[in-house]
Amino acid sequence: MVAVEAAVMAFGAGAVITMATVPAVIRIAHRTGFLDHPVGYKAHGQATPYLGGSCVLVAFVLALIAFGDGVGRFLPLILGALALWAVGTVDDRINLSPWLRCAATIAAAVGLWAGDLGWNVFAGSALDLGLTVVWMLGLVNAFNLMDNLDGTATSVAAAGALGVGAFALVNGDGGLAAASLGLAGACIGFLRFNLARPARIFLGDGGSMPIGFVVAALAIAAQPVDRLGRGAVLTAALLVGLVVLDTTLVIVSRLRRHVQLLSGGRDHLSHRLLAVVLTPRRVAPILAAVQLALCALALAAANLGGAVMLWSTVSVTVAGIATLVGLESRMDRLAAEAPAKPPASAAVATE
């Protein structure tokens, strides 16, 4: 019961600290010109402050210190998240090279593994290190890509963190439960401002990168590897399943259309859902609900044995493939039905 109370307090602290700090950060962003301007594929109507990730990260760290096991166990996680916050915040300002962001993520992943918070499912340490690096690099970039519509990355991160918290409480890990619920509360507190009409602040890369790093690391820490063995990777993947689906969808779609993988665009899962439900305030809770369902499936699979885990993995994989095929088929139909664009000269003449 003490662990549950600490986790609930961490959740509340994360939410309250975020909501208390966001207004001040909004003022700082306006005074310093730290704004995201609507250019290119970006569809928001006015320049909007960045730096929202700073509030979420501060709230998470403070909640962890106050109600978790202290800094010691999670120090590699905190340091890695702070490093990615710094890199992401600079990137929001001056657009760093993607390779530099990847190098920073790899360095943070190595630090996580060296601090005994990485994967430990193989007999050889080199394989565990490699898996940790690939896991962290893939998920940090996946969360970064999913931060493409108000509330999406934050809602999915909150849902994943709640799933990790459930794992931690079932396994009797009060410190991890407090860390996870602290992050979930911080993300939910941020949604009050990010899902306003219009959005009052964005996460930016300085938010999506460290949040993705923290969720990915917590998903590893939640797994009872001694009981699940390598199957722990499968249940951990379900805790972040929606960002995996979104990234896979974008990669498949852009390869089919011969579009650069690293370019921006409006072909994500959130954009396709937006075309149906019409507002980000509906998209965010739908995505969160789907991720929560995946977390519940992961928890059931981890506690009901290998057969359930296998069938859960197969079922989710089949459902994911069917979703990809269905969404791509719909895009093809819409493209075929859309009227051809007029020549550039004609477009100018009508203005």
pLDDT for 30-50, tens place per residue?
999 999 887 655 555 678 999
Q: What's the sign of the alpha-carbon dihedral 347, 337, 277, 285?
A: negative
Lowest mean pLDDT among 15-19, 237-241, 290-294, 333-337: 333-337
pLDDT band at 220 (very low <50, low <70, confident <90, very high): very high
- Checking if the pLDDT of 262 tops 90, the result is no
* Token pair for 128: 């565990």
pLDDT given at position 121: 92
Amino acid at 240: V
N residues, the chain: 351
Lowest mean pLDDT among 1-5, 241-245, 293-297: 1-5
Please tell me the pTM assigned to this model. 0.90
Distance CA 305, CA 311 (A): 10
- Checking if the pLDDT of 27 tops 60, the result is yes
Nearest to 143 by CA among 74, 242, 76, 65: 242
Which has more pLDDT, 308 or 301? 301
Nearest to 286 by CA among 152, 158, 181, 139: 152
Average pLDDT score over residue span 106-120: 95
Local structure of residue 259 (DSSP, 8 states): -
Instruction: Tell me the percentage of the chain whose pLDDT exceeds 90.
Output: 60
Cβ burial of 121 (10 Å; 0-12, 13-18, 19+) is: middle
In three state form, how does the secondary structure of 99-155 look? HHHHHHHHHHHHHHHHCCCCCCCCCCHHHHHHHHHHHHHHHHHHHHHHCCCCCHHHH
- Compute CA 281 distance to the chain's CA centroid, rounded to the nearest angstrom: 17
CA angle 170, 110, 155 (to 5 degrees): 50
Q: Are strands 35-36 and 48-49 parallel, antiparallel or unpaired?
A: antiparallel
pLDDT given at position 6: 92
Average pLDDT of the chain to the nearest whole number: 88
- Checking if the pLDDT of 351 tops 70, the result is no
Q: What's the sign of the alpha-carbon dihedral 321, 269, 246, 169?
A: negative
pLDDT given at position 306: 67
pLDDT given at position 343: 45
* Rounded alpha-carbon distances, angstroms, from residue 77 to 69, 113, 182, 208, 291: 13, 10, 14, 15, 23
Q: Helix or strand or coil: residue 199?
A: coil
pLDDT for 149-164, tens place per residue?
889 999 999 999 999 9
Q: Are 156 and 246 in contact (CB under 8 A)?
A: no
Q: Are 34 and 200 in contact (CB under 8 A)?
A: no
- Checking if the pLDDT of 176 tops 60, the result is yes
Amino acid at 340: A
Q: Are 288 and 160 in contact (CB under 8 A)?
A: no
Distance CA 339, CA 197 (A): 31
* Token pair for 139: 């998920």
* Helix boundaries (H) for the chain: 2-32, 52-67, 71-94, 98-114, 125-146, 152-170, 174-194, 205-221, 225-228, 231-239, 241-257, 269-277, 280-304, 306-337, 344-349
pLDDT for 307-336, tens place per residue?
677 777 788 888 888 887 888 787 777 767
Phi-psi region of 223 (alpha: psi -120 to 50; beta: other; left: phi over 0): beta
At residue 35, what are phi and psi to the nearest 5 degrees? -125, 150
pLDDT given at position 272: 86
Lowest mean pLDDT among 142-151, 218-227, 236-245, 305-314: 305-314
Give me the DSSP letters along 218-235.
Answer: HHHHT--HHHHTTHHHHH
